[in-house]
Structure 1
Amino acid sequence: MAPTTRGINKSLSPSAKTRATIAHRLSAVTGAMTTATIAEMESRHPWFQRLDAEHRSWITLVAQAGIDGFVKWFADPGPAGPSTSDVFGSAPRELARKISLFQTVELVRTTIDVVESQIEEVMPKGDRPILQAAIVQYSREVAFTAAEIYARAAEMRGAWDARLEALVVDAVLRGETDETVLSRASTLGWRSTAAVVVAVGPAPETEETQAVET
């Protein structure tokens, strides 16, 4: 039977009691899973190694929230499928500006790979098929949530950039070019030092074209 879109594959869906038992065993190893995930990120992604301690700590919190969220959802899936909005809620908005969507996808993929590997290594054989099916469902929702966060951030950034552009142009036209204008231009990425000439004046009047009958 194909996986459902609202929960765990029905053919692998255990009873509530069994889910609770498996979730209890899984929760005992979430700390080790998070540690293994961060170690794998450092090994697999050179750009992750170059992050400062603060940003690395935020990513650790996100990874931990994702793994804990998986355990919580697995214990009680519910009819609506997993809710992953809290996974990225532990990190500030600045993280989306520091790390690209592509890099976020890489981190999500790495986390899922490690969790799948850990399930095979530390969980009882009887638990593995159920957990592997569940992590596929959960990881898809995490990916969708990440895409939504970056889409909203892009919309907000676009609106803010348009506002900054208007303020800079208005200040230039008024001759009010102070440090604030330079700072705003730098924020927009306007770093060119080339000279610019601006001509201001009324548009020339043109005679209306008259139709000539022949």
Structure 2
Amino acid sequence: MALTPRTPADHSDASAAAADAQALTLQRLRANVGRLSTATLKELESALPWYRRLSADERSALGMVAQNGINAFVSWYQRPSSPSWVLSDVFGTAPTELTRSISLQRALQLIRTVVQVVEDQVPEIAPKAEQGALREAVLRYSREVAFAAADVYARAAESRGSWDTRLEALVVDAILRGEDTDSLRSRMAALGWKSQSRFTVMVGTSPSETTAGFVSDLRRAASRFAEDALVGIQGDRLILVLGGVADQDTAYLRLGELFAPGPVVYGPLAASLLEATNSAQAAFAGLAAAKAWPGAPRPVAADDLWPERVISGDEAARRALVKNIYRPLLAASNGLAETLSSYLQLGHSLEATARELFVHANTVRYRLRRVCDVTGWDPLIPREAFVLQTALVVGRLAPPPVPVVERNGTRT
């Protein structure tokens, strides 16, 4: 049987019929927007338990996103457009509320629920001949909205990451400048800082190219040895603020490997946030003076650089030598300061020191051990003997301590 070819009039009639069916579907979609929105909100309440647990404001914001999605679908069905248009129409005013209220996974569940509601209403909205095309349009639109949602969350994450980086830099700078205010503490809390003691600061040279990946790796490595960590980069200096340091020696050694070549200095442990400023200042002073000790370990404690810091004009190091070494030696009596001075001046010779002081060599040995017990520095080790000798020099030049007078039970 021969097929009768279709005439242009037949094509015209078919196109007209299709256009009429699409126009009718579009008209019914517009007429049912309110019903679809109501059905969607009811379905969200019944199908998504986490949606019911949200606050009224959060449910309102997400409900607005769902209604925007339905309204935007009607416009999109009439004139399909780019994903950027979908992004602005559906999520234009909601990214902050959306990303704060729910995760991306839940956002996709919300989109799936909206799509399911619209798809279930297809038989009642579209003529039978148009139902297949409408279902296909719903699926295509849901794909565009899903990609748009992912874009919203990606942008929010980038913005949050940039803000956290700026906030972290402000916090590090505030610690270096000695701030200890409620504002600083709230900023640290916003960054997730929880430690209240055992603060310390490490400083060194930063790599020539510090990418976001490097900072993340450094922060991740620091989290293995400390409860909290902040990273700051100021020019060619890399600053690492640690809180709740557990194994100090291992932490400093492993973290020091992540700095660029050159000296790495860590300040003394601080008991409070305010004292962390002193730790930072000591670390920076040590970094400036570290080149005067070519054989310094890496990393090196700022306190181990007291002599070099004193020579470079660091007043804090001078006070530390007087307080921690010179005055304890004088207070211990038993000739410890005199014995140490003679031992250092006579080329570290026990016999020569014994002859100088008219005592037995074993007495000299005993007194030197007492020096180590009192100060924590061993005069038999050349480097530590240099620290002790510097303490004697600055101690002799220091003004005498102000006497403490008690008046009516109050020390003044």
Worse-superposed segment, 195-204 or 174-183: 195-204
Distance in 1 between residues matched to 2:108 and 2:80, nearest whole Å = 24
Deviation at 1:123, TM superposition (A): 4.0
Worse-superposed segment, 102-111 or 17-26: 17-26
Instruction: Pick from 35, 43, 46 the counterpart of residue 40 of structure 1.
Output: 43
Instruction: Pick from 60, 66, 69 the counterpart of residue 69 of structure 2.
Output: 66
- Does 2:58 correspond to 1:55? yes
The letter for the 1-side match of 2:23 is: A
- Does 2:86 correspond to 1:84? yes
Deviation at 1:207, TM superposition (A): 4.4
Distance in 2 between residues matched to 1:123 and 1:191, nearest whole Å = 58
Distance in 2 between residues matched to 1:81 and 1:89, nearest whole Å = 12
Deviation at 1:185, TM superposition (A): 1.1
Distance in 2 between residues matched to 1:116 and 1:37, nearest whole Å = 11
- Does 2:159 correspond to 1:173? no
Distance change >3 Å, CA 152–CA 81, structure 1 → 2 = closer
Instruction: Pick from 19, 22, 32 the counterpart of residue 19 of structure 1.
Output: 22
Equivalent positions of 1:115-126 (< 5 A) are 115-126=118-129
Check whether the contact 2:77–2:137 (CA below 8 A) recurs between aligned residues.
yes
- Offset from partner CA, 1:128-186 (integer Å, 9 cap, x none): 21110101111111011111111111111101101111111111122102011111112
Deviation at 1:87, TM superposition (A): 0.7
Check whether the contact 1:33–1:114 (CA below 8 A) recurs between aligned residues.
yes
Question: How high is the sequence identity, in percent, across the aligned residues?
Answer: 47
- Does 2:182 correspond to 1:94? no
Structure number with larger C-alpha Rg: 2
TM-score, normalised by the number of residues in structure 1? 0.81
The letter for the 1-side match of 2:184 is: V
Check whether the contact 2:168–2:191 (CA below 8 A) recurs between aligned residues.
yes
- Does 2:156 correspond to 1:138? no
- Give the corresponding residue for 2:341: none
Deviation at 1:74, TM superposition (A): 1.1
- Does 2:109 correspond to 1:106? yes
The letter for the 2-side match of 1:83 is: W
Distance change >3 Å, CA 135–CA 102, structure 1 → 2 = same
| 3-state SS of 2:192 partner | coil
Distance in 1 between residues matched to 2:161 and 2:83, nearest whole Å = 32
- Offset from partner CA, 1:76-101 (integer Å, 9 cap, x none): 236x5893121111425233222211
| 3-state SS of 1:37 partner | helix
| 3-state SS of 1:93 partner | helix
Equivalent positions of 1:158-169 (< 5 A) are 158-169=161-172
| Unaligned ranges ≥5, structure 2 | 1-16, 202-266, 268-281, 297-412
- Offset from partner CA, 1:182-214 (integer Å, 9 cap, x none): 111121122333532441331433249xxxxxx
- Offset from partner CA, 1:13-45 (integer Å, 9 cap, x none): x84443222110111112111111111111222
Distance change >3 Å, CA 81–CA 99, structure 1 → 2 = closer
Check whether the contact 2:95–2:153 (CA below 8 A) recurs between aligned residues.
no
Distance change >3 Å, CA 48–CA 193, structure 1 → 2 = farther
- Give the corresponding residue for 1:5: none
Check whether the contact 1:105–1:143 (CA below 8 A) recurs between aligned residues.
yes
| Unaligned ranges ≥5, structure 1 | 1-13, 209-214
TM-score, normalised by the number of residues in structure 2? 0.44
Equivalent positions of 1:164-203 (< 5 A) are 164-198=167-201, 199=267, 200-201=282-283, 202-203=286-287
**What value does the CA root-mean-square deviation take over the aligned residues?**
2.3
The letter for the 2-side match of 1:178 is: T
Distance in 2 between residues matched to 1:58 and 1:159, nearest whole Å = 25
Instruction: Pick from 150, 153, 156 the counterpart of residue 156 of structure 2.
Output: 153
Paired residues in the alignment total 194
More strand as a share of residues:
2
Check whether the contact 1:34–1:64 (CA below 8 A) recurs between aligned residues.
yes
